[in-house]
Amino acid sequence: MEYPICDICGKSLRDWQGNVMVDADMYLQKDTVEDILIWCCNCAKTMEKRGMGRQYSRIWDLRWMHNHYVYVLNRVMGSFLTEKELRFSRSVLLKIMRYGTAIYPNGEDFHV
């Protein structure tokens, strides 16, 4: 199982408390999101105080992503089919799918 890890402090977020962050310019320009970053709640506060919060946008709350995983997966996969929406790279898709193994370790209860 691969739980999300804070990209700032390296803490494993087994409780799924944190933020899924993206580069603000890519997000606001509706360009392809090449990567997502995971920030724990403490690091998010610290990064905001340092002024780094303006360079990144929170796209999802990590707990929300956990609870709505199928929606998130469909949104990311669907971005490969249309040019109108925000698009995600294959590396983002792979990260999201890896998190799915922590949410549904044996494929149990995974219904689309």
pLDDT tens digits for range 67-95: 998 888 888 888 777 665 668 888 988 88
3-class state of residue 5 by DSSP: strand
10 φψ region: left (φ > 0), alpha (ψ -120 to 50), beta (else): left
Mean pLDDT of 47-59: 86
Q: Is residue 2 pLDDT above 70, yes or no?
A: yes
pLDDT, residue 1, reads 54
Neighbours of 21 (CB within 10 A): 26
| 8-47 tens-digit pLDDT | 999 999 999 999 999 888 877 777 888 999 999 999 999 9
